[in-house]
Amino acid sequence: MPSTRTSGRTRRLAAAVSLSATVALLAGACTGTDSTGGSDDSAGGKDVTITFWHGWSQDNETGAINANIANFEKLHPNIHVKVVANISDDKSEQALRAGGPDAPDVVSSFTTDNVGKFCDSKVWTDLTPFLKKDGIDPAATFPAPMLKYSQFQGDQCSLPLEGDAYGLYYNKTAFAAAGITAPPKTLSEFDADAVKLTIPKGDGFQQLGFLPNYHGYESAPSHYLSQWGATYFGPDGRSNIATDPSVTAMLTWQKNLINQLGGFDKLEKFRTSFGDEFSAKNPFETGQLAMAIDGEWRTASIADDKATLDWATAPFPVPDALASTYGRGYQTGTIVGIAQGSTKQAAAWELVKYLTTDTDAVVSFANAIHNVPSTIAALNSPKLDADPNFKTFLDIARDPNSTTTPASINGGAYQVSLQNLGYDVESGKQTDLAAGLAATAKEIDAAVNQAK
């Protein structure tokens, strides 16, 4: 029955084609970022409404950003901004994947580690043409570390929108009781002070000078490594942690300090008695720790929590061999960009430009949320919060030796690999540092290759 066979074959073929088409259609739907990009008529005065998604959620934060938006709308009466707060990266990524009219035009993120992916995938558009059009020189406008964490391989797909800097917090009462007259500047001074400030109690501590363990809230490997100026990747894009002596030096210093303060197990047990990092039970605020590495936001938290301790801030100490670089610190922050799929990019750029480069806007927002301002002009503005403890972080942000973690194509995966090695080293699970670093570098390179 040739005709029956033909008809069966045709049906099967039709079914296969339909199935393939359906699969392709549905698979295509998952990748449906609108790439029309584009111009709108906002420059010509036409009314345009853009959507801005950001992650701030506290009342003072949303109030401050809304005030900035109101000022922007006064300056640009034809551009209206619909603001959506409390948005995580996962949510904005999902919306940008889906595209369409409900997707945001302007997006911000707290995770500078994700810049590599935002730029590489072109989901956030390259802002270089906009910067050039308006004659903005990024290098003259933004501090170098902030410019570094907002771009990936020359693609400036985001701009810094307020920053964070890390320094040393110390308890002045504890310092006086231990006979310490000034904050330490080098790590050898720091280690000696940490030991002097430690008061044992039973099998724990009444007061610990400093908790060097990598799980001690902000005492992460990347935050320490800024004091050495580690670069993480070589010019060829491959991990250089096995050949960069600063990584070995940091891991060795941290492990030695752990040993001087009583050993890993004892410190870990003490760590589990800490309250939440972002609460009045923070161990520095309760007096459990005499020194801590933390960001500039803690200056506001200590006041909000009405902590009774007498405290001050200083740059985190540097290795003895790099004493001349004292004043540096780790920097990160919030970034903002424009969705590649936005059809209102001209209006979106006006908002991004205002939020990131208007000195008054940057300063007022920084003062309101106690962040480090993200432009050189704003850092030098007389309108900035004059509190000396906060000023420490402004100085760290201005310091030419301050560094950040570089953007990578697979986000912060390289930091996780390094952290995991750090955990193994501090706990004594990994004793062969050279072998551990070589294996970790290999792991990082394999992950980066996989993402390319």
Partner 1 sequence: MALALGSRKAAATAPTALPVPPALRRKRRREAARTLAFLSPWLIGFGVFFAYPLLSTVYFSFMKYDGFRPPVFTGLRNWTYVFTDYPFFWEGLRNTLWLVVVMVTLRVVFGLGIGLLVTKIRSGLGFFRTAFYLPYLAPPVAATIAFAFLLNPGTGPVDHYLGKLGLPQPGWFNDPNWSKPALTMLAVWGIGDLMVIFMAALLDVPTEQYEAAELDGAGPWQRFRYVTFPNISPIVMFAVVTGVIQTMQYYTQAIVAGQVASGIIGGSGEQFEPGYPNGSTWTLPQMVYNLGFQRFDTGSACVVALILFAISMAFTSLLLRRKSGFMSVED
Interacting positions 369-408 with partner 1 (CB under 8 A): 404-405
Give dist(CA 155, CA 125) in Å, integer.
9
Residue 160 in tokens: 């810094």
Of 329, 392, 417, 437, the one binding partner 1 by CB under 8 A: 417
Q: Encode burial over 169-189: b for 16+ CB neighbours within 10 A, e otherwise.
A: bbbeebbeebebeebbbbbeb
Torsion of CA 148, 149, 153, 154, to 10 degrees: -60
CA dihedral 286→289→293→294, nearest 10 degrees, is: -10
Which of these ranges, 26-34, 137-145, 255-263, 352-360, lies near partner 1 under the rule CB under 8 A? Answer: 26-34
Sign of the alpha-carbon torsion through 37, 29, 452, 146 = positive
For the bound state, the minimum distance from the C-beta of residue 452 to partner 1, rounded and expressed in Å, comes to 8
Does residue 55 belong to the site contacting partner 1 (CB under 8 A)?
A: no
Contact region for partner 1 (CB under 8 A) — 125-133, 179-187, 213-221, 233-241? 213-221
Kindly state the tokens that stand for 39: 């111009």
Contact call for residues 307 and 285 (beta carbons, < 8 A): yes
Query: Judged by CB under 8 A, which of 217, 316, 354, 393 binds partner 1?
Result: 217
Picking from 381, 341, 343, 347, the residue whose alpha carbon sits closest to that of residue 361 is 381
254 binds partner 1 (CB under 8 A): no
The one-letter code for the residue type at 347 is: A
Q: Which of 73, 93, 387, 395 binds partner 1 (CB under 8 A)?
A: 93
- Residue 397's Cβ-side half-sphere holds a number of Cα atoms within 13 Å equal to 29
Among candidate residues 143, 120, 190, the one with its CA nearest the CA of residue 409? 120
3 binds partner 1 (CB under 8 A): no
Give whichever of 331 and 364 is closer to partner 1, judged by the CB atom: 331
Nearest C-alpha neighbor of 106 from the set 136, 131, 82: 82
CB of 247 to partner 1, least distance (A): 15
The stretch near partner 1 (CB under 8 A) out of 29-37, 178-186, 227-235, 387-395 is 29-37
Residue type at 394?
L
Options 105-113, 126-134, 355-363, 380-388: segment touching partner 1 (CB under 8 A): 105-113
Segment lying near partner 1 (by CB under 8 A), choices 43-51, 58-66, 219-227, 352-360 = 219-227
Mask of contacts with partner 1, 314-353, x by CB under 8 A?
Answer: ----------------x-xx--------------------
Tell whether residue 231 is a contact of partner 1 (CB under 8 A): no
- Decide: 405 and 196 in contact? Cβ < 8 Å: no
- 268 sits near partner 1 (criterion: CB under 8 A): yes
Contact (CB, 8 A) for 134 and 159: no
Write each residue from 116 to 155 as x if it is in contact with partner 1 (CB under 8 A), else as -, in one continuous string: -x---xxx-------------------------x------
CA 200 – CA 193 distance, rounded (Å): 15
Q: Which is nearer to partner 1, 395 or 424 (CB)?
A: 424
Q: State both tokens at 366.
A: 């920084």
CB nearer to partner 1: give 165 or 197. Answer: 165
* Shortest distance, position 113 Cβ to partner 1, whole Å: 5
Q: What SS3 class is residue 219? A: coil
Q: Which among 113-121, 251-259, 299-307, 370-378 is the span making contact with partner 1, rule CB under 8 A?
A: 113-121
Among 48, 69, 79, 96, binds partner 1 (CB under 8 A): 96
Strands (E), 55-180: 79-84, 106-109, 159-171
In angstroms, how far is the first alpha carbon of the chain from the final one? 54
Site string for partner 1, 271-300 (x = CB under 8 A): xxxx--xx----------------------
Question: Which residues form the interface with partner 1 (CB under 8 A)?
Answer: 1, 23, 26-28, 30-31, 33, 90, 93, 96-97, 110-113, 117, 121-123, 149, 164, 215-218, 220, 222-223, 268-274, 277-278, 330, 332-333, 404-405, 410-413, 415-417, 419-420, 423-424, 427, 429, 443, 446-447, 450-451
